[in-house]
Amino acid sequence: MNLELSEEQTAVRRLAREFTEREIAPYAAEWDRAESVDRALVKKLGEVGFLGLTVPEEYGGSGGDHLSYVLVTEELGRGDSAVRGIVSVSLGLVAKTIAAWGSEEQKREWLPRLCAGHALGCFGLTEPGTGSDAGSLTTRAARTGATYVLNGGKTFITNGTWADVVLLFARTDPDEPGHRGVSAFLVPADTPGLTRREIHGKLGLRGQATAELVLEDVEVPASALLGPEGKGFSVAMSALAKGRMSVAAGCVGLAQAALDAAVAYAGQREQFGKPIARHQLVQELIADISVDVDAARLLTWRVADLIDRGRPFATESATAKLFASEAAVRAASNALQVHGGYGYIDEYPAGKLLRDARVMTLYEGTSQIQKLLIGRARTGVSAF
């Protein structure tokens, strides 16, 4: 793996950093308090090309490699994890999946709008009773001639109330057990029978629109099927394998923000007649954050490098997601400790970083699920 960035990758990273400093970081605390990111930001993300990274230019994308995507995701995560989540889901889980599995008609219909920020996507997999056990989902899609009728519900759906299209997973064959009877659909969010309710009062990622979806006799044409019927679980798992890289990259950015905040505060705050940065136990906290940032970054960059070289990457993606999410929690907690009592009020960023970090160990596969994936891969034991 080459650790030296190309000129193009360096330029993309610089662009993302400047965009984050100008358009995101100054407003992150305000959006957190309001429980809503300014929706005008979506168009700006599209204009600068961040919603089309790695998507072919012929479909309105920005092109580029996956390491460039990771670099941008790091910077967005450093500015505000809620914003990073908007991009990771709409681009990383939805647009990339349409590019990989969609028909030519589906690509032409959705990708230009998603990449330009004129539309957003959400990923409708999680249900109230099926989180880690996604293969047991109960949302139904019954074939009636040239259409499917969908009934069921989804929860904890990022971008749920903002999205224009739902990449929705439903059971098309009730007689097939587990994952084998699941199919994927592209459902326009304004389809009659689809209702959405935003979830408020979250611990972290408060600026992100997280929602419950209810489907009551939602009718879609057969052309809404994404990939072959019965292959929806494969569609979902392929999306999540790359999605875990996105989460890991966002965690690297969050941990970097924790490091930056801890170093800045330690240099300004004085106790016992000198800046606390000169106290060895404070230095130890900062050193622990720094090591976690470097290790998480290298694990995440490895995943992008493998994808760009066409190599298998699923286990490495699970490894990066596991380590980076847990590292982000440690980093944010250590940064709060450096801040002392001031870390507990939202005038300083440490508290928000810790709240945002905590969910990273839960979504797109909990830490326990990542360990199962890694363990099965290393031992050769089948997942099913």
* Residues recognised as catalytic: 364
Q: How far apart are the C-alpha atoms of 324 and 254, rounded to whole Å?
A: 10
CA within 13 Å, CB half, 223: 7
Please give the backbone phi and psi of residue 45, each rounded to the nearest 5 degrees, phi first: -65, -35
CA dihedral 195, 196, 197, 200 (to 10 degrees): 170
* Pairing between β-strand 147-158 and β-strand 140-144 as defined by DSSP bridges: antiparallel
* Residues 6 or more apart in contact with residue 41 via CB below 8 angstroms: 23, 24, 83
Give the three-class secondary structure for 320: helix
Beta bridge partner(s), residue 149: 142, 219
Q: How far apart are the C-alpha atoms of 316 and 370, rounded to whole Å?
A: 10
Q: How far apart are the C-alpha atoms of 257 and 81, rounded to whole Å?
A: 10
- CA 75 to centroid of chain Cα atoms: 13
Q: How far apart are the C-alpha atoms of 5 and 210, rounded to whole Å?
A: 35
Tell me which residue of 199, 202, 142, 134 sits closest to 169, measured CA to CA: 134
Distances (CA, A) of 84 to 143, 147, 268: 37, 35, 29
Which residue's structure tokens are 């890694």? Answer: 374
Residue type, 129: G
Give the three-class secondary structure for 353: helix
Q: How far apart are the C-alpha atoms of 88 and 166, rounded to whole Å?
A: 14
Q: How far apart are the C-alpha atoms of 378 and 372, rounded to whole Å?
A: 10
